[in-house]
Amino acid sequence: QKEVEQDPGPLSVPEGAIVSLNCTYSNSAFQYFMWYRQYSRKGPELLMYTYSSGNKEDGRFTAQVDKSSKYISLFIRDSQPSDSATYLCAMTILTGGGNKLTFGTGTQLKVEL
Amino acid sequence: DGGITQSPKYLFRKEGQNVTLSCEQNLNHDAMYWYRQDPGQGLRLIYYSQIVNDFQKGDIAEGYSVSREKKESFPLTVTSAQKNPTAFYLCASSMPGRGNYGYTFGSGTRLTVV
What pLDDT, in 10s, does the model give residues A38-86? 999 899 999 999 988 899 999 999 999 999 999 999 999 999 999 999 9
d(CA A63, CA A71): 11
Burial status of residue A97 (CB atoms within 10 A of its CB: 0-12, 13-18, 19 or more): exposed
pLDDT for B21: 97
Burial status of residue B100 (CB atoms within 10 A of its CB: 0-12, 13-18, 19 or more): middle
> What is the separation of C-alpha A80 from the centre of its chain, rounded to a whole number of angstroms?
17
Question: Is the per-residue pLDDT at B63 higher than 90?
Answer: yes
**From B99, which residue of chain A is nearest by alpha-carbon distance?**
A94
Distance of residue B45 Cα from the nearest chain A Cα, in angstroms: 9
pLDDT for B97: 66
Nearest residue to B55 via CA among B73, B28, B78, B36: B73
Question: Is the per-residue pLDDT at B81 higher than 80?
Answer: yes
Compute the mean pLDDT over every residue in chain A, rounded to the nearest whole number.
92
A97 → closest Cβ in B50, B90, B104: B50
Would you say B74 and B32 are in contact if contact means Cβ atoms under 8 Å apart? yes
Which of A14-18, A31-35, A95-99, B103-107 shows the lowest per-residue confidence on average (mean pLDDT)? A95-99
pLDDT for A2: 82
Taking residues B79-95, what's their average pLDDT? 93
Question: Is the per-residue pLDDT at A95 higher than 80?
Answer: no
Looking at chain A, the whole-number percentage of residues with pLDDT higher than 70 is 97
A14 touches chain B (CB under 8 A): no
Contact B43/A99, CB-based, under 8 Å? no
Contact B108/A41, CB-based, under 8 Å? yes
